[in-house]
Structure 1
Amino acid sequence: MSPDNSAVPGADGGVPAWEQVMRAMLGDGADEAIRELQERGFDPGAMAAASGLPDDPAALQQVFAQVQSLLAASGDDPVNWKMAHDLARQQAAAGGDPSLTTAQTRQVLDALAVAELWLDAATDLPPSTGVPRAWSRAEWVEATLPTWRTLTEPVASSLSVALVGALGGALPEGAPEDLALPGGIDPGQLLRQLGSAVFGMQVGQAAGTLAHEVFGTTDIGLPLLDRPAPALVAANVDAFAEGLDAPADEVRLFLALREAAATRLFTHVPWLRAHLLATVEAYARGITIDADQLEEAVRSIDVTDTAALQQALSGGVFAPHTTPAQKAALERLETALALVEGWVDEVTAAAALPHLPHTMALREMIRRRRAAGGPAEQTFANLVGLELRPRRLRDAAALWAQITRDNGAAARDAVWDHPDLLPGTEDLDDPSGYASRRATAVDDAAEVDRALAEILGEDPNAGPTG
């Protein structure tokens, strides 16, 4: 067999489609690769037919472009971020994503400005210093994708190693682990690139789908901007308002209040964003993989079919095995997300009630929406094993309301002064007992301080000297 080495997808001359792809990928090494496959008992033509590789030149050109994209160099990244970016943009544009009109921009910015004024009466936290924005879906993708990188890479890295290990086990029996393909291509590198591409598709799909669902930058409980700034996706706000009994302007104002309240919290509680992301990282560091389960799943997947790999991934086939340490991290994250969402819920309601007749109905609608989550959130949950929605939103809102009734809004906001002051699951279980438990904790801390002062020879009754 000595076909033309210059064959490329779309060329004629009787060169089979699969061979054209191999020659375009491997160049001068294609002959050796084909011969080695045949010696190992593989029929490249049969493999190509089984995978549905087309003979049509135009269709083949598309396949070749996909292969080139999948195997594009991604450095050490466990996620192909170019693919994630491009797919997220494509998904965000599905169904149309026109640039905002001057009127749409003005409506959003006016709503955010009014929201800040109303929030001044509901919380002592001042407005964010970030510039308010009105965004299209594509602009939301561009602004938030860096945070998706922070969230997904630690988990994707661990899963990529497991994926390479499982698929590497499918090499022909007796093949050395460091087997190199002709042309200097390392099978492990190819598999890592394949895993990177699969994760890129998954993250891009999730981010692009979320771009159709979110209202702003804080909908998932985590701040999606490095520097918090209030923003609303105008098209999503308008779509949500359609069919509701409340006027669109009222719906926009309510959503602006939520966005502005959350942005105030993340701006003026500087440790909060790092605390949440560190909890995600703690979860990622504890990842362990059930290798037997993974290998069993891989046996049923055509490893040459990236669509099958993506579907398996979205179905949780490569989900990590949850350890006790991870369960503890997930509980901390879940509690923290509930506290953030509950505070936003309570402060928004307090700011909206004097002005918006449909406040309670809108509040309940948003609560149910957050509790249920959407398809993109579920995709993300399958990808990294985290469900970024507060299961205990109502309990957290009740706790913040109890603190406000007992000691006022200033005391409620002061809870965010330090992470050690954050309520825990026990406080969500019993909001009415929070004050007494907090007082006991403060007394215990004071007793420890007095004991330390005595050990150090200091006056235990003296106040701070700084």
Structure 2
Amino acid sequence: MSDHPPAERPDDEPDPLEALFGGQVPPQMREALESMGLGSLDPSQLQQMRAQMEMLLGGGGGDDGPVNSTLAHDVARQVVAQAGDTSIGDATRRDVEQVVQVASLWLDQVTDFPRPDGPARALSRAEWVEATLPVWIRLTTPVAQGLQSAMNDAMQQQLGQLGTEGMGAIPGIPPGMNPAALMGQMEPMIRRMSASMFGGQVGQAVGALAGETLSGTEVGIPLLGDESVAMLPANVATFAEGLEIDGGEVHLYLAVREAARVRLFAAVSWLGPQLLTAVEEYARDMRINTEGIEEAVRSVDPQDPEAMQAALGEGLFAVEPSPAQQAALTRLETLLALVEGWVDVVSARATEPHLPHVEALAEAVRRRRATGGPAEKTFASLVGLELRPRRLRDAANLWSSLEAAGGPSGRDEAWGHPDVAPTAADLDDPLGYADRRGSGEDALTISDEDIERLLSSGDDPDAGAPDREG
């Protein structure tokens, strides 16, 4: 019999073990649990343990993906609610619609790219979470998959070192149990714990970003999945408080930037997918700090998910990027710089005739980027990526040079195809790129060269074909 008999309880007080496990507990299991002191839990301990078990087993949402999207959603909404969020009233929605309408009219004068089809949207922080979370889940899934694999490998290594004879050292595990059999039982739990851990991280990061981001695509990536021009009025108002400029002017300037960015993504169909792919490729090749994972497995109680999450979150990513990551990072930084450089130039052209403090507002945006904006912090915590357009000044010079040589049309034609869009090498020599574009040197794509070579081969069907003999 147990040395810890259950304490007497009033008839109307629930059995803590039945409450914990959701029903009758078999006598043998009850005796084992009571021997560990679990038969006399007070309500607060019971609630905490149930929460930990739900987290460990996947949050109760039936979400089997590498990232527990249900938990990510709930945590993000909770972060937003705790920080404070207000619903958007009709008057605010009308204000945003009018501001975006004016911004679109100004942009019509400085770019040939057409207006996007999407509406103007005034978003609360919670609405921004709802609208963008699917893309965040997509971008972080490759890292979550790597984390699951690393946790499995670390656990297998630890069990392998114990061996069959050492299994009895683990509480509750009978001596002589096959480590492979135990690992087979533990793998589903590890997957759920990893998905919950990463889902919680995503929720925390996205919830925090919702409190700072000013508009739908401020991060430089099309997060909303449509062509709407979205503003977060509460965050815009907070940003304007730190400036000695009328709030209406600040809102107009930021709306022009957002409308320009959305217009660019809508007109250049290849741009958004390439940005998202570059982030995914970087994340897919992210090397997990396996030594840190192994140390967490050794030092943390596996029955304490919060402690495990904290331990795994510290130093999760390897410091040095792989060659594949470096290539993806260079491509991503170049695209981000080109996007933000184009937005800087076009927004300046659109607002200078109408707003008195354009330079001060542009400087405020530059300072926000230089100090590591909310997007950079979010990507650093989720995929180990410093998302910063480092070559922004070079990109702005390139777009200005193209504009000076060929007007707005000459500037925007450089987005016509990814094969002729500016590269990192072109950012080294913006004037040279503009000269080459002006002379038509970059107008010929690889496929055009192939066609020209085939045409020059005359009627000989074998001319220019590879030698098949040998």
With the shorter chain as reference, the TM-score category is 0.7 to 0.9
Q: Distance in 1 between matches of 2:6 and 2:101?
A: 63
Q: Call closer, same or farther: CA 1:13–1:26 in 2, change over 3 Å.
A: closer
Judge conservation of contact 1:167–1:298 (CA < 8 Å) in 2.
yes
* Pairing 1:142–2:141 present: no
Q: Distance in 1 between matches of 2:367 and 2:11?
A: 56
In the alignment, which residue of structure 1 is the partner of 2:427? 428
Q: Distance in 2 between matches of 1:376 and 1:300?
A: 33
Superposition map of 1:19-168 within 5 A:
28=26, 31=29, 55-71=41-57, 72=60, 74-168=62-156
Counterpart of 2:278, as a letter, is T
Deviations 1:380-437 (A, max 9, x none): 3132122233122222112111111121111111111111112111122221111245
**Which blocks of at least 5 consecutive residues in structure 1 are unaligned?**
36-42, 49-53, 459-466
Counterpart of 1:179, as a letter, is A
Q: Distance in 1 between matches of 2:202 and 2:11?
A: 35
Cα shift at 1:2: 5.4
Counterpart of 1:249, as a letter, is G
Deviations 1:283-310 (A, max 9, x none): 2343444534532454344433333333
Superposition map of 1:173-322 within 5 A:
173-174=163-164, 175=167, 176-180=178-182, 186-289=185-288, 291-319=290-318, 322=321
Judge conservation of contact 2:87–2:124 (CA < 8 Å) in 1.
yes
Judge conservation of contact 1:5–1:27 (CA < 8 Å) in 2.
no
Judge conservation of contact 1:313–1:382 (CA < 8 Å) in 2.
no
Q: Distance in 1 between matches of 2:262 and 2:24?
A: 51
Judge conservation of contact 1:167–1:303 (CA < 8 Å) in 2.
no
Q: Call closer, same or farther: CA 1:291–1:366 in 2, change over 3 Å.
A: same
Judge conservation of contact 2:116–2:228 (CA < 8 Å) in 1.
yes
Q: Distance in 1 between matches of 2:365 and 2:354?
A: 18
Corresponding pairs, count: 438
Q: Distance in 2 between matches of 1:276 and 1:159?
A: 23
- SS of residue matched to 1:274: helix
In the alignment, which residue of structure 1 is the partner of 2:452? 450
> Which sits farther off after the overlay, 151-160 or 164-173?
164-173
Q: Call closer, same or farther: CA 1:21–1:444 in 2, change over 3 Å.
A: same
> Which sits farther off after the overlay, 337-346 or 285-294?
285-294
Judge conservation of contact 2:18–2:24 (CA < 8 Å) in 1.
no
In the alignment, which residue of structure 2 is the partner of 1:402? 401
Q: Call closer, same or farther: CA 1:23–1:269 in 2, change over 3 Å.
A: same
Q: Distance in 2 between matches of 1:22 and 1:328?
A: 51
Cα shift at 1:317: 2.2
Judge conservation of contact 1:22–1:30 (CA < 8 Å) in 2.
no
Q: Call closer, same or farther: CA 1:29–1:367 in 2, change over 3 Å.
A: farther
Q: Call closer, same or farther: CA 1:233–1:375 in 2, change over 3 Å.
A: closer
> Which sits farther off after the overlay, 440-449 or 405-414?
440-449
- TM-score when normalising by structure 1: 0.84
Q: Distance in 2 between matches of 1:245 and 1:107?
A: 21
Q: Call closer, same or farther: CA 1:247–1:159 in 2, change over 3 Å.
A: same
Q: Call closer, same or farther: CA 1:444–1:417 in 2, change over 3 Å.
A: closer
Counterpart of 1:64, as a letter, is R
Judge conservation of contact 1:11–1:57 (CA < 8 Å) in 2.
no
Cα shift at 1:29: 10
Deviations 1:49-71 (A, max 9, x none): xxxxx954224313313422431
Counterpart of 2:257, as a letter, is R
Q: Call closer, same or farther: CA 1:435–1:351 in 2, change over 3 Å.
A: same
Judge conservation of contact 2:56–2:189 (CA < 8 Å) in 1.
no
Counterpart of 1:192, as a letter, is R
Q: Distance in 2 between matches of 1:255 and 1:105?
A: 16
Q: Call closer, same or farther: CA 1:402–1:315 in 2, change over 3 Å.
A: farther
> Which sits farther off after the overlay, 352-361 or 380-389?
380-389
- TM-score when normalising by structure 2: 0.83
Counterpart of 2:263, as a letter, is R
Cα shift at 1:90: 1.0
In the alignment, which residue of structure 2 is the partner of 1:325? 324
> Which sits farther off after the overlay, 395-404 or 313-322?
313-322
Judge conservation of contact 1:156–1:199 (CA < 8 Å) in 2.
yes
Q: Distance in 2 between matches of 1:301 and 1:422?
A: 50
Superposed CA RMSD in Å reads 3.5
In the alignment, which residue of structure 2 is the partner of 1:169? 157
Cα shift at 1:104: 1.8
Counterpart of 2:253, as a letter, is F
Cα shift at 1:118: 0.4
Judge conservation of contact 1:301–1:308 (CA < 8 Å) in 2.
yes
Judge conservation of contact 1:210–1:377 (CA < 8 Å) in 2.
no
Structure 1 vs Structure 2: percent identity of aligned residues? 48
Q: Distance in 1 between matches of 2:163 and 2:14?
A: 33
In the alignment, which residue of structure 1 is the partner of 2:350? 351
In the alignment, which residue of structure 1 is the partner of 2:463? none
Moved over 6 A (4+): 3-7, 10-15, 19-22
Counterpart of 2:110, as a letter, is A
Cα shift at 1:242: 1.2
Q: Call closer, same or farther: CA 1:95–1:399 in 2, change over 3 Å.
A: same
Cα shift at 1:85: 0.2
Judge conservation of contact 1:136–1:235 (CA < 8 Å) in 2.
yes
Cα shift at 1:443: 6.0
Q: Distance in 1 between matches of 2:23 and 2:370?
A: 47
> Which sits farther off after the overlay, 311-320 or 400-409?
311-320
- SS of residue matched to 1:98: coil
- SS of residue matched to 1:355: coil
Counterpart of 1:113, as a letter, is Q
Q: Distance in 2 between matches of 1:75 and 1:92?
A: 22
Deviations 1:69-126 (A, max 9, x none): 4313645301111110011111112232121223222221111110000000111111
